[in-house]
Chain A
Amino acid sequence: MIRLALEAVSRWAIPLLLAGVPLYALTRKVKVYPAFLEGAKEGFQVAIRVIPPLVAVLVALGMLRASGALDGVARLLGPATAALGLPPSVLPMVLVRPLSGGAALGVVGDVLRGDGPDGYAGRLVSVMAGSTETTFYVLAVYMGSVGITRYRQALPAGLLADLAGFGASVLVVRALFGP
């Protein structure tokens, strides 16, 4: 019931916004079309401004993946994390999630195919993917768009949040679905 309502909202939100906001603006005598173009121009420039920081971050992360450093860490940590309720097939998720959204979805796809969507590993990897974000990408885009190079507490806070999301995922999936 709640689920259906939420899914309906997420299906209708964008079309309704696109029609509703300009309609309301018309009744408030806003020059809708010129205003739209002005904002759109700004949006385009922001997208261009984001390119240099994004190149820097994605190149560094691409190198990290290609170097095999992540595989090495996964081999080292495997036995320890299995004891914490993290199946070996899900471990790459934890390592890759803050770095690359595409790679994380790749891991989800692998686990769902390999272990099935309704096993412990399948549910766990789904919840992990939904409850965390691609921290490095978000920071590169958001901070980069206004030319910030010193992120201060945002980076550790984002990584700690990912860690908390993973831990909570293990606990919640165990509690709701059993190991």
Chain B
Amino acid sequence: MSLVWVLLVALSVAVAAATGRIEALTPAVVESAGRAVTLSIGLAGVMALWLGLMRVAEEAGLVRLLGRAARPVLRRLFPEVPPEHPALGAMVMNVAANMLGLGNAATPFGLKAMAALEELNPHKGTASDAQALFCALNTASVQLVPATVIALRAAAAAPQPADVLGATLIASLCATAVALAAARLLRHLYPRPPEPR
């Protein structure tokens, strides 16, 4: 990520210099940095709400039940995660919320799952295969209800704003399949650091 980040910044400066837009960079930097904080703080409320609810569900045994229900699929995708691990329940909640277009609820569950997977990760600071696969899944989630897009289409006076639902489902299934395959096939190109002693 260090390399990607430095290249993005350096490329931007070079292009801006070449196109004479160098004076546009500083306000963009200030604005983006501010927006990152607004986004995170905006996230804090829903995060607190959903992780609070998640803790209640966990203590009631619901999360484990969910994880068990989805075990056949999850065991295939995440063979290194033990069958009763809390990460599984959180991942199921995350995927379900994503499918329904409930992005606000999906993120807290996803972060909970990442934290649970981190317990199994021997290399702090480097993604495990399970974490990389889970993130890849989240960058291409299967969409049953693309809520935001439907709202935008309704606002643009489409007679049937939800008529793209089927097409979106198919396209997002393709994207998800590629995410899974790529995360699986590419992992050998990114070796993990040697086992810590």
* A residues neighboring B (CB under 8 Å): 3, 6-7, 9-10, 13-14, 17-18, 21-22, 24-25, 28, 30-32, 35-44, 46-48, 50-51, 54-69, 72, 105, 108-109, 112-113, 116-118, 122-123, 126-135, 138-139, 141-143, 145-158, 160-165, 167-169, 172-173, 176-177
Residues of B contacting A112 in the complex (Cβ-Cβ under 8 angstroms): 152-153, 155-156, 158
| B59 proximal to A (CB < 8 A) | yes
| B39 proximal to A (CB < 8 A) | yes
| B47 proximal to A (CB < 8 A) | yes
Question: Would you call A118 and B159 a contact (CB within 8 A)?
Answer: yes
Give B5 Cβ to nearest chain A Cβ, in Å: 6
Supposing A112-B153, A147-B124 touch, asked if A172 and B9 sit within 8 A by C-beta, the answer is: no
In the complex, A95 Cα to B27 Cα: how many Å?
Answer: 22
Residues of B contacting A9 in the complex (Cβ-Cβ under 8 angstroms): 100, 145
* B residues neighboring A (CB under 8 Å): 1-2, 4-5, 8-9, 11-13, 15-16, 19, 21, 24-25, 27-29, 31-33, 35-37, 39-41, 43-44, 47-62, 97, 100-102, 105, 107-108, 110-111, 114-115, 117-118, 121, 124-127, 129, 131-136, 138-141, 143-149, 152-153, 155-159, 161-168, 170-172, 174-179, 182-183, 186-187, 189-190, 192
Chain A binding site: helix, strand, loop or mixed by DSSP?
A: helix
Residues of B contacting A56 in the complex (Cβ-Cβ under 8 angstroms): 5
